[in-house]
Amino acid sequence: MALDFIIRCEAVAKSYWRGTLEIPVLQGLDLEIPRGGYYALMGPSGSGKTTLLNLIAGIDRPTGGSIEVCGYDLNDLDDDQLAGWRSQHVGFIFQNYNLVPVLNAFENVELPLLLTRLSRRERREKVLEALALVNLTDRLENYPRQLSGGQEQRVAIARAIVTEPDILVADEPTGALDAKNAEEVMALLERLNSEVGKTILLVTHDPKAAHHARIQIHLEKGVLDRTVEVNR
C-alpha cells in the first residue's frame, strides 16, 4: 500500500547572509514523512535541524527547493496565508514553553482557538478537553509563574493540540526539564502519536528523547546523513 506522505521536502536549501557572505545551512535536502509518523531530527549544533523544522512548520522560507505539507506547497502561500495555514495544520511545542506570562493556563490554551469561528462555549469545551489530555484540569486558573516547568510544558502541549492540527513540531521540548518531567513529556508525545495519530516532528539533542520517536533522522552540515529506525 502506498504511504500517505504528509510532509515532502524536495531539494530544500536555506542560506543566511552575513553581509555579502552566504552561509548555507541546508543544502538540497530531500525528505518524506508519512502521516502518523513520529520522527526525531538529530545532529550537532549548526547541522540545520531547527532550520528544517522551521521550514516545515511554515515559520521560515527556503531559499531553494519546495516543501509540501498537508497538501499545500508552502512556497505558494503568502505571509498571511501561511499564518492561516499554521493555525489550522501545525501545533508548536517549544523548548522554553513560550507561554504568555499574563494569561492563565486556560487562556494560553485558548489562544489558537480565538482564530477560529468557534463559539465561546465550544472553545471552552475544547480547552478543557486538551487540558484533560495533559492531566491539568486542576490548574486552569494558574498563571505560568505558578506552574512547574513540566506543567508549563504540558500546558504548551495542550495549546499545541487544542486545534487538532495535523502535525506537531517540537523543538527541544525537554531541553529545559529535569529527567522525570522530560520522561513524562516524552511519554505524553508518544501517546499523542500512538493513540491520537498525530504526526510528530521532534528536534532534539537528547538520545533518550529521540528514542521515543519511530524514526531518527541525522543531519550533518545541512544534508541528510542517515535515517535510523528505532527498535523498541
Partner 1 sequence: MVWLAFLPLLPYLAWLVWAALRHPIPLSYNWRSLWQRKVSTLSTAGAIAVVVVIFVVVLSLSQGISRAFVSSGRADQVVVLRPNARVELNSSVERGQARILKTNPFLVQDADGPLASCECMVVKLLELADGSGSTNVAFRGLEPAGVRMRSQVRLVTGRWFRPGLPELVVPQKMVGRFANLGMGKSLFFSGQSWNIVGVFEGGGSAFDSEVWTDVEMLMQAHRRTTFSSMLVRLHSAEKVPGFVKFLDDDKRLKLEGKPETEYYAQQTEAGKPIQVLGNLITVILTVGAIFAAMNTMFAAVASRTAEIGTLRALGYRRVEILASFQWEALMLCTLGGLLGAGMALGFNGIQTGTTNFETFSDISFAFTITPNLMGQGVAFSLLMGVLGGFFPAWRASRIPVTEAMKGG
- Residues of this chain that interact with partner 1 (CB under 8 A) are 54, 57, 59-60, 79-80, 83-84, 86-88, 92, 94, 96, 98, 100-103, 107, 111-112, 114-115, 159
CB of 93 to partner 1, least distance (A): 11
Kindly tell me which of 57 and 133 has the beta carbon lying closer to partner 1: 57
CB of 162 to partner 1, least distance (A): 10
Q: Check if the beta carbon of residue 230 is closer than 8 Å to that of residue 215.
A: yes
Kindly tell me which of 4 and 79 has the beta carbon lying closer to partner 1: 79
CB of 160 to partner 1, least distance (A): 9
Kindly tell me which of 111 and 223 has the beta carbon lying closer to partner 1: 111
Q: Among candidates 120, 188, 179, 122, which has minimal Cα distance to 154? A: 188
Kindly tell me which of 24 and 34 has the beta carbon lying closer to partner 1: 24
CB of 183 to partner 1, least distance (A): 25
Q: Check if the beta carbon of residue 105 is closer than 8 Å to that of residue 140.
A: yes
Strand order in the sheet with 167-171: 90-93, 167-171, 199-203, 38-42, 215-220, 223-229
Kindly tell me which of 100 and 187 has the beta carbon lying closer to partner 1: 100
CB of 217 to partner 1, least distance (A): 20
Amino acid at the residue 54: N
Kindly tell me which of 216 and 219 has the beta carbon lying closer to partner 1: 219
Which residue carries 533518550 as its cell? Answer: 208
CB of 229 to partner 1, least distance (A): 30
